[in-house]
Amino acid sequence: ASASTFLRGDNAWASAGGDNSAAFFAYATSNQTLVSNTQTKLVLDTETFDSDSAFDKDTNYRFTVPTGKGGKYLIYASADMKSSTHTEVREGGIFIYKNGAEVQVSLQGYFGPDANDAYDINPTLTGVMDLAEDDYIELWGFITVRSGTPTIRGDTGRTRTYMGAHRLIGV
């Protein structure tokens, strides 16, 4: 017995806890202009944490699974989308790309083409994905606007557009 072990119900000793790294949380600090109805990789240029220095916030804006850290990952993301013109957003969505291909989609905040367009929407996604060493994931998004400039919002004071993940243990 020690501070890092516990007695199981079958009277066997087991190690407590586990290591769910690699883990990261990255977000956008400035606005990104998009082309209406065109998928674009989102620029996440700041990290809150990055346990294994595996998120590239300077060039590719992607997380690459480090050596020995393959497994199931909980991935979550959101994007704050708007049009420069009031009430002109028709739809928007975010996508997780794995190794350059779209694998998980959230198309929240759909608004019909004739009425009820919005100024601001926030599609989100959460999911579990199997990732092997050297796999990489990226956040992509699209927004369709009736008029105005489609924008993904970033902010230095709060996290409007972000992606994060951590490896799951025990599964």
pLDDT at 1: 66
pLDDT at 110: 45
In the chain, how long is the greatest CA-to-CA distance? 68
Residues 6+ apart with CB under 8 A from 150: 33, 34, 35, 36, 81, 82, 83, 89, 143, 144
CA distance 140 to 28: 13
Positions in the chain whose pLDDT score sits under 70: 1, 87, 104-117
Residues 6+ apart with CB under 8 A from 135: 64, 65, 70, 98, 99
SS3 content of the chain, % helix, strand, coil (to 5): 0, 50, 50
CA distance 92 to 81: 7
Backbone angles phi, psi at 139, to 5 degrees: -105, 125
Strand partners, 145: 89
CA distance 57 to 71: 23
pLDDT at 54: 98
Q: Tell how strand 136-145 and strand 5-7 pair up.
A: unpaired
pLDDT at 52: 97
pLDDT at 96: 92
pLDDT at 130: 94
Indicate the DSSP class of residue 93.
Answer: E
Residues 6+ apart with CB under 8 A from 152: 28, 31, 32, 34, 42, 79, 80, 81, 141, 143, 161
pTM across the whole model:
0.85
pLDDT at 14: 78
- Asked if residue 153 lies in contact with residue 42, where contact means CB atoms within 8 angstroms, the answer is no
